[in-house]
Structure 1
Amino acid sequence: MADGIIAKSLLLSHGAHMASIEKRETQDGKTSYRVKVRLKGYPTQSETFERLTDAKKWAQQTESAIREGRHFKTVEAKRHTLAELIDRYTRDVLPGKKDGAHQAAQLAWWREQIGAYTLADITPALIVEHRDKLAAGETYRKTQRSPATVVRYMAALSHAFTIGVKEYQWLDDTPMRKVTKPKEPKGRVRFLSDDERARLMTACKESTSPLLYTVAVLALSTGARQGEVLGLTWDDIDLNRGRAILRDTKNGDTRAIHLSGHCLELLKELSKVRRIDTALLFPGNRHKHKPIDLRAHWEKALQAAKIEDFHFHDLRHSAASYLAMNGATLSEIAEVLGHKTLAMVKRYSHLSDAHVSGVVERMNQKIFG
């Protein structure tokens, strides 16, 4: 044999299948065993061992894994790195996702941290280690990340693994199944008191931006998100029926919001002086096809109104809170806000206690007199 190697072939029989083990001896007396597993319809698999017992064990395990459809998935997991998975997922999947830009940045962080590992070497323990580093701020801008932010980073990675399992078939299962997400704090409920609301609306009305007041009233009266309000076009507005269609929503669904009272009057006034060079209700000054940036004006209005710890999104919480305090049920609040489940609106349940107690009282009066 070449290179002074003497080969002797052995055959291991496993039912209808054959694994061949070739014993190799070098002139200096070293022995090795080269195994080849041949199963009809599958490519030949081979491996070399120093001990015959290890060679036999590998042959049996490999045959079983091939028959059960496990072997080649393991091979793929050893062949591809996490970086390759993230790159392919970023190219194939993210362009079609609404929040693709955010997820691309989150996946880039995972790629930088553990992208060099093969998929077979990405263990739950490794993910947990970097989850905790992310939360502690050890590897990312040296600042701690909130539990909600960490959950979003994990969700981005989890979906990439899911696609890797189901569509690319690079993994047999996702390691994320055994990783616990950080517990998120209860949803924030900050709403304007009557006095705060009056001060803030006055400040918005006196803003140097002629659009801030209308935007704030629209958000407060409908519970729509800032992005949903600013993305509205005149084609979405039906002033006669008092209705607007939100197309660019967080969950991707289209939903209608009702316009009434002061909000509807403001939009009717705005329609009289609307710009004809853009379809947007609230276009930017420089870029007419992009919504106006009201952040600076909003911050000045908050300062002028002397309101602390309040974000634009809290106008949505305020709208929901006012609905609860005025007798709306949780399902009605969910419908107004566009939530698919009641979980997100249960934070307002304590505000509707009077309504609930009234319902119970009327029921008891009816059946007991």
Structure 2
Amino acid sequence: MATIRARERQDGGTVYQVQVRLRGYPTQTASFARKTDAKDWAQRTESAIREGRHFKNREARRHTLHDALDRYRREKLPAISNQPSMRGHLDWWDRELGAYTMADVTPALIVGRRDSLATEILERTKQPRSPSTVNRYLETLSSVLSAAVKEWQWLDDTPMRKVSKLRQPQGRVRFLDDDERKALLEACKESSHPYLETIVILALSTGARFSELMNLRWSNVDMDRGFAYLHETKNNERRAIPLV
């Protein structure tokens, strides 16, 4: 229930102090210059507490996006195989939106930064980012906000539900012909990297991704049966690839 008390200020005016007490919840307090505002706040706050909305919103106001990004770096990033790329995404969002409270990270705000990502000319390439690259930035932010909803209870829902990804052009499927494959392997032999040729041969013969091959260990290779077992894949699903 709510109680409202009128207090006289030093300048002779009146301030209305409100307390909302509900069993099982911490007391909520606020002060207003008008009694009608005090009553309105008390009714809205009591309803929000009963419906489970008030304290979730309070958590969203208490934490900034920087807090969420920093916690994600500490708790989630170490278990992700593609750390360098994702760390770069996290740092970018931190620079752009880190100062905003979680409650103020709206779909419109994210869309504005999405469009900035898509139009910014990169100094290294003199070209804007591709739609697929922009979408990976969005996926990283989505992972952070999902953790804030499902695990940390800092948000009631993720604003990413209302943010569309950029449309990506369909990739062209193409295979190396015999001459191209031979030239590629010859170039690998001339490389100073001791394992480049082996990595390329495995990639050509198995179709495995680069990150999957980099995480492959001898303990995952069964030479007798002719299979390699990938435990860290893009979809987090283990699979076996034949060694031909």
TM-score normalised over the length of structure 2: 0.85
Deviation at 1:28, TM superposition (A): 4.1
One-letter identity of the residue aligned with 1:258: P
Q: 1:144-155, aligned counterparts within 5 Å?
A: 144-155=128-139
Q: 1:18-37, aligned counterparts within 5 Å?
A: 18-26=1-9, 28-37=11-20
Q: Which structure has the higher relative contact order (CA within 8 Å, separation 6+)? A: 2
Deviation at 1:54, TM superposition (A): 1.6
Query: Is the counterpart of residue 63 in structure 1 residue 46 in structure 2?
Result: yes
CA separation of 1:237 and 1:42: change in aligned 2, threshold 3 A: closer
Please name the residue that 1:340 is paired with. Answer: none
The answer to whether the 8 Å contact 2:105/2:159 transfers is yes
- What do residues 220-271 of structure 1 show as CA deviations (whole Å, max 9, x unaligned)? 23222334445544444444433333344333333222233xxxxxxxxxxx
One-letter identity of the residue aligned with 1:198: D
Please name the residue that 1:163 is paired with. Answer: 147
CA separation of 1:25 and 1:156: change in aligned 2, threshold 3 A: same
Q: 2 CA distance for matches of 1:250 and 1:54?
A: 54
Q: Find the partner of 2:87 among 104, 116, 131.
A: 104
CA separation of 1:241 and 1:163: change in aligned 2, threshold 3 A: closer
Q: 2 CA distance for matches of 1:33 and 1:139?
A: 56
Same amino acid, percent of matched pairs: 55
Q: 2 CA distance for matches of 1:252 and 1:110?
A: 25
Q: 1 CA distance for matches of 2:113 and 2:232?
A: 34
Q: Find the partner of 1:208 among 165, 184, 190.
A: 190
Matched residue count: 240
**Structure index of larger Rg:** 1
One-letter identity of the residue aligned with 2:32: F
One-letter identity of the residue aligned with 1:201: K
Query: Is the counterpart of residue 113 in structure 1 residue 111 in structure 2?
Result: no
5+ long unaligned stretches in structure 2: none
Q: 1 CA distance for matches of 2:215 and 2:104?
A: 44
Name the SS of the counterpart of 1:22 in structure 2: strand
The answer to whether the 8 Å contact 1:204/1:212 transfers is no
TM-score normalised over the length of structure 1: 0.58
5+ long unaligned stretches in structure 1: 1-17, 261-369
Please name the residue that 1:175 is paired with. Answer: 159
Query: Is the counterpart of residue 191 in structure 1 residue 172 in structure 2?
Result: no
CA separation of 1:229 and 1:182: change in aligned 2, threshold 3 A: same
